[in-house]
Amino acid sequence: MRDLCAAAVDAATGAGAEYADARVVAKRNQFVATKNGRVERLADSESEGIGVRVLVNGAWGFACDRRLSSEGAREAALRACTFARAAAGRHSSRQLAPVASASATHRTAVERDPFEVSLDEKVAECLAADEGMNGPDIVVRQAMVRAQREHKLLLTSEGTEVEQELIECGAGIECAAARDGVFQMRSYPSAHVGSSSQMGWEYVDGLDLSGEAPRVAEQAAALVRADVCPSGVMTVVLDGDQVALQVHESVGHPTELDRVYGSEASYAGTSFLKADDLGSMQYGSDLMNITADPTTVGGLGSFAFDDEGVLAERTAVVEGGLLTGFLTSRETAARIGAGNGGSMRADGWNRMPLVRMTNLHLEPGSGTLDDLLADVNDGVYMETNRSWSIDDKRLNFQFGTQIAWEIKAGKLGRMLRDATYTGITPKFWGTLDAVAGRDSWRLYGLTNCGKGQPGQSAHVSHGAAPARFRDVQVGVRS
Amino acid sequence: MNAIEVANAALEVVNGEAEAVAHVEHSGLARFAGSEVHQPTLIENAMVTLRVVQDTRVGVATTNKIDADGLAEVAERAHAAARSAPPDDGFPGLAPPMDPPKVEGFDEDTARLGPEEQAKLADAAIDAGGDVPVYGFFTSAMSDLAVASTTGLSVQQRMTDATALVVAADESGSGYAEQTAWRAGGIDPALVAEEAAEKARRTRGGGKIEPGVYRAVLEPYAFADLLDYFSHDSFGALGLLEERSYFAGRLDEKVFDEKISINDDALDPRGLPKSFDFEGTPKQRVELVEHGVARGVVWDRTTAAQSKNGAQSTGHAPPAELRDWGPLPSALSVSPGDVESVEELAQLVGDGLYITRLHYLGVVHPREGVITGMTRDGTFRIRDGKIAEPLVNLRFTVAVPDFLRDVLGLTSGAALVNSQNFYGERYPYGVLTPAIAAERFAVTGVGSKPGI
């Protein structure tokens, strides 16, 4: 791998690049999914190749090739230079924040390598959980487990050479109930392909899918008979899973500095934040503390160095409700004049690195979920994301959850279905008046964060605990 | 190697029953922001997915290592997966040999475009933005898809596609336009940028409106997006079988206005033509809605085998990594109406909204077809039958069946709207649709002003 990267970087600098980096990436994925007692998908995929990024006359170029050969490496480098040169000329020159060159290796610590776990065991795990969701009104039962190994080597023309092996796995179950034209879903531990972690198979073992399956099915069946969540302005308590989604969409994306500068305007969108909001923008209440931490054990956004070779560091993004940091690349860090990047990741060898969330956490507060509920006279408690939508500046959002309960006089009451809530980002975070404590704080790992053209999917974790928000608009439907 | 050579080479190293799907991509995407190319990406890749069948046990493995060693490894991994799979009595078997229909969709000139030309076409869009900075891309690609199997099936299709997409935006306004086609010669990036910039200039000073139900005109960009999201649950056989689809229990009932007819037609040369699906089954034109009556959904071999009504595959099997979704439409086409222009649609509306584009849609209730999202890059008030003052971006929460129940009109011309965001392997598809005016579009909130 190293020789190929070196050949690519040499070819690029020889062709006039003032900067070049090359990444060889080999990725393997296993995915097992069952539906209604039948194996729906049993797949094992791998992909490898080299991606070369260059700066020529101040303009970026990126090209890649699946061939891990000297020829493939050199050709990718030269094509990247050609593309950059074609774009240069009337281009403002790209500057990169300086970083010390690094030489390091890193591997995810695992107790049980997920690729050493037999496919037989993975199939059995899914089928057992699938069977556990059998019950009245259940029309679809699904279980899945997944594993990924990404081995990559980055070499830059500035002398950085970093080799990393990142291992992750995940699992989830979901069932759907239907009755009298009402269709409802329930998932565990999260919706949208379960939850994943950068750990070994011990993570999947700890989820106890089979143990949770009967509860999931019972709740789905109960939901088709539940009342529709009422509309109105009220206090909302969100479970950690929904808080994680709220953090992702309304804090993570708007604090990506490339979005602030407009790089994503044509697809994912921009941000309501401006660069000069740093240090002055009141994002939320003083209970709102958000950190970006690529060193979190088990986080899907964890690494030793990002895909530009910047050392992983924990940073504060919001402190006491005040905006104190952005997620940056070397280029955007140089432009804002703060930091040196550290959030650049690419979706494999054939995509250019972009500013991506690492692990973005809402830091814990104190107390338990019961403590949060106790101080609510009339409100709604919502669990597990079902739908999400937010505008291109990450300001106006509408989220829905799979299940909810009314809160009356500090206690959970009747079950409710079709719960949604809506808000404007800083106003909503300004109503945060309680976050549960460390004992309720969990990591939620999602694998479907989209950005970029051509599209890239990132894996990212969020630490979150249940949280309480006052005066929230609940129940928006056509 | 081309795709059929890759597929055949993969089959040669497999013992027993198997299917190989090979996909070769040569693409370039010159992405720009603030009128500068900032993320130019060139991709060269070749993937092969092997599906092996041992009795009724099925295993799948994918690789892009297509030399002899790589193919031997992927075959072993596919066999290992099959050995771990329990017998599946519902497995319909691999597709038999069939002659796919001949379709258009490949253009030598488009296939030959290289980075210099792609950058030049992006430059054309940048130049045409004028005083409004532009954000977007020009992309073109050649994709080669082949399916071969031990049943004797052997099909191959080379495809080209090109898209120019532009958001023109400054501090106070934004506009959007795009063109997509299988011939790059049919794309005019400068015209796309001019359309986006002209619209951006008209959105400055956007005002707010009260939430409520409005009459509305949706441009093809907006209507295509809404329909695409609705189709995921409602136009596929799996959604029907699992009762997620709005069509569950409603087939052959009148569900929409009689002006609405929708089909999925990958054979239409005005779209991005496809000859066969990812199981090698020939593509068929499928009538989904005929004059407002729900007529059918699209099928693959797996869902057809689960059907109690003798359904057959219509050629809509997705790639292996999306098989959980079941068969999906990939060439939606809405029959045009008789209204000459969007301005005439505005006259039909009288008092309402004009919407260019939607953003970040989310399915709120699949069974009821309720979708939420935001408008973006060109939202206006319609007053006295004319497109009037600009509006801020609006949140909507729309039950698609309710939106389509009372249609005021459709334009006589249709546009092809790109629906692929180029995740994963390149497989271009889009929605061919006119603009539409309808009686009810539910606005449930207001968002930010247009602009960067």
Q: Nearest to residue A448, comparing CAs of A105, A170, A179, A184?
A: A170
Span A143-160, mean pLDDT? Answer: 98
Q: Is residue A73 domain-shared with residue A174, that is, in the same domain?
A: yes
d(CA A223, CA A176): 10
Predicted pLDDT of residue B70: 97
What single letter denotes the amino acid at residue A102? A
Q: Is residue A206 domain-shared with residue A240, that is, in the same domain?
A: no
H/E stretch holding B438 reads: strand B436-446
Q: What is the CATH number of the domain that holds A86?
A: 3.30.2290.10
Distances (CA, A) of B254 to A379, B248, B257: 40, 13, 8
What single letter denotes the amino acid at residue B141? A
Interchain CB contact of B244 with A (< 8 Å): yes
- Nearest-CA residue of chain B relative to A272? B448
d(CA B38, CA A55): 11
pLDDT(A477) > 70: no
The two three-digit tokens of residue A358, written as one number: 């690492």
Q: Nearest to residue B59, comparing CAs of B43, B38, B83, B35?
A: B83
- Nearest-CA residue of chain B relative to A475? B444
Q: Is residue A156 part of a domain?
A: yes
Residues of chain B with pLDDT under 70: none
Predicted pLDDT of residue A89: 63
Q: How far is B351 from chain A (nearest CA, A)?
A: 20
Interchain CB contact of B39 with A (< 8 Å): yes
Predicted pLDDT of residue B341: 98
Give the mean pLDDT of chain A. Answer: 96
Q: Is residue A204 domain-shared with residue A285, that is, in the same domain?
A: no
Angle at B133 between CA B127 and CA B134, to 5 degrees: 75
- Sheet with A290-292: list strands edge to edge: A322-323, A315-319, A290-292, A360-362
Interchain CB contact of A349 with B (< 8 Å): no
Q: Is residue A283 domain-shared with residue A162, that is, in the same domain?
A: no
Interchain CB contact of B405 with A (< 8 Å): no
Task: Kindly give the pairing relationship between strand A195-197 and strand A138-156.
Answer: unpaired
Task: Kindly give the pairing relationship between strand B386-390 and strand B370-383.
Answer: antiparallel
Helix H, strand E, coil C: the string for chain A is CHHHHHHHHHHHHHCCCCEEEEEEEEEEEEEEEEECCEEEEEEEEEEEEEEEEEEECCEEEEEEECCCCHHHHHHHHHHHHHHHHHHCCCCCCCCCCCCCCCEEEEECCCCCCCCCCCHHHHHHHHHHHHHHCCCCCEEEEEEEEEEEEEEEEEEECCCCEEEEEEEEEEEEEEEEEEECCEEEEEEECCCCCCEEEECCCHHHHHHCHHHHHHHHHHHHHHHCCCEECCCEEEEEEECHHHHHHHHHHHHHCCCEHHHHCCCCCCCCCCCCCCHHHCCCCECCCCCCCEEECCCCCECCCCCCECCCCCECCCEEEEECCEECCCECCHHHHHHHCCCCCCCEECCCCCCCCEECCCEEEECCCCCCHHHHHHCCCEEEEEEEEEEEEECCCCCEEEEEEEEEEEEECCEEEEEEECEEEEEEHHHHHHCEEEECCHHHCEEEEEEEEEECCCCEEEEEEEEECCEEEEEEEECCCC
Predicted pLDDT of residue B153: 98
Q: How far is A282 from chain B (nearest CA, A)?
A: 18
- Residue-wise pLDDT for A38-47, tens only, equals 999 999 999 9
Q: Is residue A217 part of a domain?
A: no
Q: Is residue A103 part of a domain?
A: yes
Q: How confident is the model at residue A478 (pLDDT cuts 50, 70, 90)?
A: very low
Q: Check if the beta carbon of residue B66 is closer than 8 Å to that of residue A49.
A: no
Burial string for A242-253 (b: 16+ CB within 10 Å, else e) reads: bbbbbbbbbbbb
- Nearest-CA residue of chain A relative to B396? A478
- Number of domains composing chain A: 2
Q: Is residue A428 domain-shared with residue A311, that is, in the same domain?
A: yes
d(CA A342, CA A335): 14
Q: Report the sign of the C-alpha dihedral through residues A347, A352, A356, A358, in that order.
A: positive
d(CA A395, CA A427): 9
Span A5-31, mean pLDDT? Answer: 98
Span A310-332, mean pLDDT? Answer: 98
Q: Is residue A426 domain-shared with residue A292, that is, in the same domain?
A: yes
Q: Is residue A255 part of a domain?
A: yes
Q: Is residue A219 part of a domain?
A: no
- Residue-wise pLDDT for A420-475, tens only, equals 999 999 999 999 999 999 999 999 999 999 999 999 999 999 999 999 999 999 98
Span A4-8, mean pLDDT? Answer: 98
Interchain CB contact of B91 with A (< 8 Å): no
- Nearest-CA residue of chain A relative to B73? A46
Predicted pLDDT of residue B217: 98
The domain in which residue A331 lies consists of: 228-474
Q: Is residue A222 part of a domain?
A: no
Mark yes or no for CB contact A265/B33 under 8 Å.
yes
Q: Is residue A223 part of a domain?
A: no
CATH code of the domain made up of B3-202? 3.30.2290.10
Interchain CB contact of A255 with B (< 8 Å): no
Mark yes or no for CB contact A455/B421 under 8 Å.
yes
Listed by start position, the domains of chain B span: 3-202, 212-446
Interchain CB contact of B289 with A (< 8 Å): no
Q: How confident is the model at residue A93 (pLDDT cuts 50, 70, 90)?
A: confident
Q: Is residue A318 domain-shared with residue A370, that is, in the same domain?
A: yes
Q: Is residue A155 domain-shared with residue A20, that is, in the same domain?
A: yes
Q: How far is A183 from chain B (nearest CA, A)?
A: 6
Predicted pLDDT of residue A90: 64
Q: Is residue A207 domain-shared with residue A247, that is, in the same domain?
A: no
pLDDT(A35) > 50: yes
What phi and psi values does residue A97 have, to the nearest 5 degrees?
-60, 140
Distances (CA, A) of B107 to A440, B121, B161, B331: 58, 17, 9, 19
Residues facing A187 on adjacent strands: A174
Predicted pLDDT of residue B321: 87
